[in-house]
């Protein structure tokens, strides 16, 4: 039957991969379900890193950010203390602005914002995720603007399990989830309610703490009215309120990272509507259409407020034959940020085509191109309006050759781009408010150039029943990399690095030792260099891009005995230059990050008991912005425990 191709085939592949893993007996090549063109880890013409629902659940991570930072090659850090919109770095774009160089999607919907707000991954309950696919150095043809480093695809499609879960931890941490799912031959209905809160870890002289709460509610319906037609509709509501503490000097950070000189209080809410349909004309041809509408509010309590209205639409015509696949598509995005003094709009419109061809049993080739128009409009309440537009192109060519039934080599060339967000056109000043640096836009500094990058990747995959090995080597050559240039101690403008480059090696290996024991390693060595930058009068030339760790490592040792599962993991990021140290001459550097975590779960019939200790050895970690401007991050031992009941 064809009617459940899009949704239920995904569920089936995830179920198979999950069960293979849970038996701890053999590994397999997992399908890349977020790509328009079908492939798997072994036959993909680009670098992949994939995590199944079973792996996500067994990690007992507290949220999406925790999982990405502790289990994958991605570097995560709170956004100047804000734990709900954390910064993301993939392939050496820096912990400062790296999040703008990677596209993050949920079921194909982009989470990237039109301004300098990071992607709001806190609106995605970890329990709802079926799979996470990390596409490195590719994805610009399908996803366009911002996919310089690659794409993080989060997939939640499929029928929900029926369960209720609750947990508690130190610092008055608590949370709960109710998940409901129903399905029959023609209908899938999902509902999920998720809540978490904490009293905070940092405290000021008045005994105020950085408390927060997060609530997410989601309803989704998938209906199959005919053999070949799938209809989808969903509604998601998220609201968050948090206080986050300001930076500390190095002495205060070393003596007591729990202290704070003041807090910033922020409120988020998001109302998301999703609609979609897939129609299979026959086994070879299909249409796919998706529409998303999101209304958001970001408010700094006692200060500024921004409303956002995002609309996106994408459609594709898909052709799948025995030895080739072709996708022709279009997508649009229309985003408004509404403030009391102005309305700013960014619009993206694109056409793309992508194809792959299986020349023989062992040889596969893929190619694609994208043409995108980006428009900006700035309408202040007083003064002249401003507008501009730009056309950009993305290309991708890849090849995969199977050496045997278990191994392959691949090579990929990718051309990507990142257009400036709407904040980049304005200079700004920094003001210390209660110990927190607040950026204030002051004047228009010009329409800066878009960044462009050429990515080259070669790799080797070897996937056997007891071992999965992936190795890739990459080089990225950039023009007009976007960054913030300081013109004074508390002021600066947004501009471009004329030329820069990055290169490195990425190694992933997972080894099943026996039916009870496995181990995995995820390591990357990355060099990120500034070749030429006229804005700093040559002072940045030849320097390392700040905020990039050369060595990034996650280690896991998992043990399963009957109904008991345990995972011991360690995350390491080597020292780097502070996030604002473009001249590489600050007195203080970003110190190395270390965290050892231990999780355990026990299953008895329909009940699961679980617990996790983070930062087991109580290591101090922080995010260095500049000298004596340090945000403590995962700086103390924390723990939580809970129970999950399936019905």
259-278 residue pLDDT tens: 998 888 999 999 999 999 99
| Residue 412: CA count within 13 A, CB half-sphere | 34
- Locus of tokens 């990058």: 453
Give yes or no for residue 582 having a pLDDT over 90: yes
Task: Put residue 435 in one of left, alpha, beta given phi > 0 → left and psi -120 to 50 → alpha.
Answer: left
Arithmetic mean of pLDDT, 452-465: 97
Per-residue pLDDT at 24: 44
Over residues 57-91, the pLDDT tens digits come to 999 999 999 999 999 999 999 988 888 999 999 99
Q: Cβ(484)–Cβ(492) under 8 Å?
A: yes
Give yes or no for residue 488 having a pLDDT over 90: no
Give yes or no for residue 382 having a pLDDT over 80: yes
Distance of alpha carbon 103 from alpha carbon 101, whole angstroms: 7
What is the full DSSP assignment across 44-62? -SSEEEEEEHHHHHHHT-S
Distance of alpha carbon 43 from alpha carbon 401, whole angstroms: 8
Give yes or no for residue 193 having a pLDDT over 70: yes
| pLDDT band per the 50, 70, 90 thresholds, residue 383 | confident
Distance of alpha carbon 130 from alpha carbon 158, whole angstroms: 8
Over residues 563-580, the pLDDT tens digits come to 999 999 999 999 999 999
Per-residue pLDDT at 491: 67
Give yes or no for residue 225 having a pLDDT over 90: yes
Give yes or no for residue 18 having a pLDDT over 70: no
Distance of alpha carbon 37 from alpha carbon 29, whole angstroms: 16
Give yes or no for residue 336 having a pLDDT over 70: yes
Q: Which domain holds residue 256?
A: 8-646
Give yes or no for residue 597 having a pLDDT over 70: yes
Per-residue pLDDT at 434: 54
Q: Which of 367, 284, 300 is nearest to 81 (CA)?
A: 300
| pLDDT band per the 50, 70, 90 thresholds, residue 487 | low
- Helix or strand run (H / E) with residue 17: helix 8-22
Q: Is 617 exposed, middle or buried (0-12, 13-18, 19+ CB in 10 A)?
A: exposed
Per-residue pLDDT at 433: 57
Q: Cβ(158)–Cβ(10) under 8 Å?
A: yes
What CATH number is given to the structural domain containing 149?
2.40.170.20
Q: How far apart are the first and last CA of the chain?
A: 30
Q: Which residues of 167-192 are buried (b: 16+ CB within 10 A; e: fewer)?
A: bebebebbbebebbbebeeeebbbeb
- Locus of tokens 């403008």: 493
Per-residue pLDDT at 194: 96
Distance of alpha carbon 20 from alpha carbon 28, whole angstroms: 8
How is residue 334 written in tokens? 């229309």
Per-residue pLDDT at 21: 39
Considering the domain boundaries, does residue 312 fall inside one? yes
Give yes or no for residue 460 having a pLDDT over 50: yes
Per-residue pLDDT at 23: 42
Per-residue pLDDT at 300: 87
Q: What's the full length of the chain, in residues?
A: 647
* Percentage with pLDDT > 90 across the chain: 79
Over residues 414-450, the pLDDT tens digits come to 999 999 999 888 776 656 555 555 556 556 767 889 9
Q: In sequence order, which residues have a C-beta less than 8 Å from that of residue 302 and are 6 or more positions away?
A: 265
Considering the domain boundaries, does residue 3 fall inside one? no
Identify the three-state secondary structure at position 161: coil
Distance of alpha carbon 223 from alpha carbon 612, whole angstroms: 38
| pLDDT band per the 50, 70, 90 thresholds, residue 16 | very low
Distance of alpha carbon 583 from alpha carbon 585, whole angstroms: 5
Give yes or no for residue 10 having a pLDDT over 70: no
Give yes or no for residue 141 having a pLDDT over 50: yes
Considering the domain boundaries, does residue 508 fall inside one? yes
Q: Cβ(102)–Cβ(143) under 8 Å?
A: no
| pLDDT band per the 50, 70, 90 thresholds, residue 587 | very high
Over residues 515-555, the pLDDT tens digits come to 999 999 999 999 999 999 887 788 899 999 999 999 999 99
Give yes or no for residue 609 having a pLDDT over 80: yes
Q: Which of 629, 475, 542, 551 is nearest to 149 (CA)?
A: 475
Per-residue pLDDT at 4: 41
> How many domains in the chain?
1
Distance of alpha carbon 343 from alpha carbon 345, whole angstroms: 7
Over residues 121-137, the pLDDT tens digits come to 999 999 899 999 999 99
Other beta carbons within 10 Å of 414: 28
Give yes or no for residue 250 having a pLDDT over 90: yes
Distance of alpha carbon 461 from alpha carbon 403, whole angstroms: 10
Give yes or no for residue 22 having a pLDDT over 90: no
Arithmetic mean of pLDDT, 8-12: 40
Identify the three-state secondary structure at position 15: helix
- Locus of tokens 């679980």: 610
- Locus of tokens 């690659």: 150
Give yes or no for residue 323 having a pLDDT over 50: yes
Over residues 148-190, the pLDDT tens digits come to 999 999 998 778 899 999 999 999 999 999 999 999 999 999 9
């Amino acid at each position: 039957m064809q009617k459940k191709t899009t949704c239920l085939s995904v569920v089936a592949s995830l179920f198979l991969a999950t069960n293979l893993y849970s038996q701890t007996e053999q590994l397999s090549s997992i399908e890349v379900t977020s790509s328009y063109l079908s492939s798997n880890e072994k036959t993909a013409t680009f670098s992949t890193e994939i995590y199944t629902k079973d792996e996500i659940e067994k990690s007992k991570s507290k949220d999406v950010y925790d999982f990405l930072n502790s289990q994958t090659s991605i570097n995560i850090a709170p956004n100047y203390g804000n734990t709900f919109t954390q910064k993301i770095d993939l392939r050496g774009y820096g912990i400062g602005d790296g999040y703008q160089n990677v596209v993050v999607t949920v079921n194909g919907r982009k989470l990237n914002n039109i301004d300098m707000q990071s992607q709001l991954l806190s609106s995605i309950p970890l329990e709802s995720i079926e799979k996470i696919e990390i596409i490195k150095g590719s994805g610009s043809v399908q996803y366009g603007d911002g996919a310089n480093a690659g794409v993080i695809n989060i997939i939640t499609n499929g029928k929900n399990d029926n369960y209720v879960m609750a947990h508690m931890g130190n610092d008055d941490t608590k949370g709960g989830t109710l998940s409901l799912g129903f399905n029959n031959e023609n209908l899938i209905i999902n509902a999920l309610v998720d809540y978490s809160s904490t009293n905070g870890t940092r405290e000021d002289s008045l005994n105020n703490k950085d408390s927060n709460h997060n609530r997410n509610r989601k309803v989704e319906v998938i209906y199959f009215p005919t053999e070949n037609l799938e209809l989808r509709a969903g509604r998601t509501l998220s609201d968050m309120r948090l206080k986050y503490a300001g930076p500390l000097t190095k002495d205060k950070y070393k003596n007591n990272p729990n202290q704070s000189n003041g807090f910033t209080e922020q409120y988020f809410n998001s109302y998301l509507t999703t609609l979609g349909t897939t129609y299979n004309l026959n086994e070879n041809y299909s249409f796919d259409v998706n529409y998303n509408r999101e209304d958001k509010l970001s408010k700094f309590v006692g200060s500024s407020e921004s409303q956002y209205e995002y609309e996106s639409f994408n459609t594709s015509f898909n052709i799948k034959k025995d030895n080739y696949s072709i996708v022709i598509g279009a997508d649009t995005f229309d985003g408004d940020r509404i403030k009391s003094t102005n309305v700013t709009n960014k619009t993206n419109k694109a056409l793309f085509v992508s194809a792959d061809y299986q020349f023989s049993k062992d040889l596969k080739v893929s190619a694609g191109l994208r043409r995108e128009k980006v428009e900006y409009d700035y309408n202040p309440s007083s003064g002249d309006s401003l507008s501009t537009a730009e056309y950009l192109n993305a290309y991708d060519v890849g090849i995969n050759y199977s050496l045997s039934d278990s191994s392959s080599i691949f090579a990929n060339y990718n051309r990507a781009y990142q257009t400036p967000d709407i904040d980049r056109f304005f200079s700004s000043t920094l003001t210390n408010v209660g110990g927190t640096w607040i950026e204030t836009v002051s004047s228009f500094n010009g329409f800066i150039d878009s960044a462009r990058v050429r990515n080259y990747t070669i790799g080797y995959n070897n996937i056997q029943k007891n071992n999965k090995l992936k190795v890739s080597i990459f080089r990225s050559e950039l023009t007009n990399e976007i960054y913030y240039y300081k013109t004074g101690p508390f002021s600066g403008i947004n501009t471009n690095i004329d030329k820069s480059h990055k290169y490195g090696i990425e190694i992933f290996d997972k080894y099943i030792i026996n039916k009870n024991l496995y181990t995995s390693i995820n390591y990357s060595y990355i060099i990120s260099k500034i070749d030429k930058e006229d804005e700093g009068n040559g002072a940045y030339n030849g320097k390392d891009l700040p905020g990039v760790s050369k060595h990034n490592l996650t280690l896991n040792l998992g043990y399963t005995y009957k109904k008991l599962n345990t995972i011991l993991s360690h995350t390491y990021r080597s020292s780097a230059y502070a996030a604002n140290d473009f001249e590489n001459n600050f007195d203080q550097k970003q110190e190395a990050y270390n965290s050892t975590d231990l999780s355990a779960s026990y299953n008895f019939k329909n009940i699961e008991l679980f617990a996790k200790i983070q930062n087991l050895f109580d290591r101090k970690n922080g995010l260095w912005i500049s000298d004596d401007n340090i945000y403590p991050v995962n700086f103390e031992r924390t723990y939580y425990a809970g129970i999950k009941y399936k019905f």
